[in-house]
Chains A and B, each alone.
Chain A
Amino acid sequence: MDMLKLNVPNSITNDKLIDLYKQMWQIRLFDEKVDEFFAKGMIHGTTHLAVGQEASAAGVCALLTVEDKITSTHRGHGHCIAKGATPDKMMAELFGRTTGYCKGKGGSMHIADVEMGNLGANGIVAGGIPLAVGSALTAKMKRLDYVTVCFFGDGATNEGSFHEAVNLASIWDLPVIFVCENNQYGMSGSVKEMTRVENIADRAQAYGIPGEVADGNDIIAMMNVTDKAIKRARSGEGPTLIEAKTYRWKGHSKSDAKKYRTRDEEQEWRKKDPIKRYKEVLIEAGLLTEEKAEEVRLAVKKEIEDAVKFAEASPQPTLNDLLTDVYA
């Protein structure tokens, strides 16, 4: 078979490319399962799904080592999986069980996996941005060579925290990569109505750092733009603001009539399905076949079903747990 060399960063092997295909399905099928559970009222609270946005989480984290860190958002299941979390402990968290990443105390909006360098999802929009800057500051002060990737949405860039944090990172030349997943809306507020800039990446200019616009539904584009930003960060040149243009397929959270956008617009974006696009690229490059692709998807489906079984069989916390872990 002809092997077409793909234009990906040097560190990305062919095996890794297939892993990433699998990971994108993990992200999608995990969130679709969660969606189903919420619709059936089997999980309480709320959730924010990243279906349609798999390429940015997977593409960015593909360039990270276990030592590297991320901060995530309320729409964080995908980041979590991409940074190495396993669906079983994530599902257990959503079920509020002790085997979950937060022992059932955090839920969907607070999953953290500190051992894998995931400093946590966040219920506060833009709440993770200054934290990422702090994490990068530690690296700089302790002369550690990890980088910190900070994920956030388009809406988050209208918070003061974003501006203050990016400015700090820029003046201190910190090894942090700001990744704005611009899915066109912050809840109901469209980015067109809520900002006067063409691109969120243009905001980088105000802080004297590079701003890069990337196709957030193209995992290869995401890998390349991240690779460049990481090289800059590791060499001490400071932060980069990457904007991944993408779209969330589902509503903002579990209850959303989506009155602020049209069904036509949704269909247009569904045509840019990041998983389908990546599959076609891999097939064309001779790295994947339709049959193999389907096998991958089915294996992931099974993995998610197993995660559910694990969660359901896991113990509930006891009332004694209410007051533990308040202080260190």
Chain B
Amino acid sequence: MREITYLEAVREAMSIEMRKNEDVYILGEDIGVYGGAFGVTRGMIEEFGPERVRNTPISEAGIAGAAVGSALTGMRPILEIQFSDFITIALDQMVNQAAKIRYMYGGKGKVPMVLRTPSGSGTGAAAQHSQSLEAWVAHIPGLKVVQPSTAYDAKGLLKAAMDDDNPVIFYEHKLLYKTSSEVPEEEYSIPLGKADIKREGSDVTIVATAIMVHKALEAAKELDKEGISVEVVDPRTIVPLDKETIVNSVKKTGKLIVVHEAVKRGGIGGEIASVVAESEAFDYLDAPIKRLGGAESPVPYNPELERAHIPQVPDIITAVKETLNRA
């Protein structure tokens, strides 16, 4: 099968949908001839025109609200927020409006929209352009939250997100944009709420999200040389969360490590650990659950500090060994 990049997979999913469905349009800053800050929408204004690829002023609160309002009245917008850090400016509309409208109105109305946004550190863009704030939105009933880790997942999950009748926050990881995997040319959908076991193993379960899936897989490969068998579970969507797959994996291995890039304190890892602790997998645990996450500081500029801010492969290897030693 052909390989394409994660970035191309996102663009392809949008383009296929826009060719089929006139109600789907994109809005965002610099998504026109510039092609978006990371080049995701490159070529799309040429194909779909400025009516459907709407280049907006720098007005996150306004464009988020416009997306919500147009979704409520029959369109299916895709909103690109240039860096996920700026979601803070769009959040009033997403949290107080988009997430709650259907419920507040007693089941009337719906807000079928996707907010796509690149997150994560590793580019040297420092404290205001490197955050991973997915746990904030995961806390809000009414929003769905997606974090693809591969090109294949990105295309299928974005299709599901666009088909969903609810507001979906779709996190793209900047450092994954250029990674490739086999991706079918035709459209396909990966249901939201279905985890993927990225590697099967028997000694320890690592639940990892976004770029940490790749670091966990690398760690697993290293540990395999020492005869340690690691299972890597990628939830793919953190809302809804596929509890069953995670719980079953922990029942099999008896050990759980959760790894994400977002700051550990208040991160989604706490939720995943709690889900396991509250489940029947608790009785199967042979060692304390471990969480790895970003340091409790803003993302620093200096490259060494920036690397040290988030879990790296050696940290995951150490965590696995510590967990096994305590079993």
Contact = CB atoms under 8 A, between A and B. Distances in A.
A3 interface: no
Contacts of B305: 96, 104-105, 317, 319, 321-322
B300 A109 contact: no
A66 to B, nearest CB: 27
Given A187-B30, A323-B295, A123 B304 contact: no
Contacts of B89: 124, 159-160
A45 B55 contact: no
A62 B40 CA distance: 43
Contacts of B37: 187
A104 B34 contact: no
A106 B301 CA distance: 5
A326 B297 contact: yes
Contacts, number: 127
Contact of B297 (A97, A189, A323): A323
The A contact surface, by secondary structure, is loop
A319 B57 contact: no
A107 B126 contact: yes
A124 B55 contact: no
A128 B24 CA distance: 35
A102 interface: yes
Contacts of B297: 322-323, 326
Interface string B248-262: 000000000000000
A263 B312 CA distance: 44
A125 interface: yes
Contact of B34 (A44, A93, A188): A188
B327 interface: no
A326 B298 contact: yes
Contact of B57 (A122, A124, A155): A155
Nearest to A191: B57
Interface stretch (B58-66, B95-103, B198-206, B266-274): B58-66
B58 A125 contact: yes
A127 B58 CA distance: 12
B264 to A, nearest CB: 12
Nearest to B305: A322
B214 interface: no
Contacts of A321: 300, 305
Contacts of B29: 187, 189
Interface size class of A (residues with CB under 8 A): 35 or more
A49 interface: no
Given A187-B34, A319-B308, A105 B57 contact: no
Interface in B102-158: 123-129
A122 B58 CA distance: 15
A126 B302 CA distance: 25
B32 interface: yes
A172 B30 CA distance: 35
Contact of B302 (A127, A186, A187, A316): A316
Given A96-B302, A106-B127, A194 B57 contact: yes
Given A124-B86, A189-B57, A323-B297, A260 B34 contact: yes
Interface in A73-126: 93, 96-97, 102, 104-107, 109-110, 122-126
A44 B295 contact: no
Interface string B50-76: 000001111111100000000000000
B303 interface: yes
A214 interface: no
A109 B129 contact: yes
Given A124-B86, A319-B304, A46 B57 contact: no
Name which of B125, B129, B298, B305 has the most chain A CB atoms within 10 A of its CB. Answer: B305
13 contacts: A97-B302, A106-B126, A106-B127, A109-B129, A122-B128, A126-B58, A156-B58, A160-B61, A160-B89, A189-B58, A259-B33, A317-B305, A326-B298
10 closest Cβ pairs, A-B complex: A45-B124, A107-B301, A123-B128, A44-B124, A96-B302, A158-B57, A188-B34, A104-B302, A194-B57, A105-B300
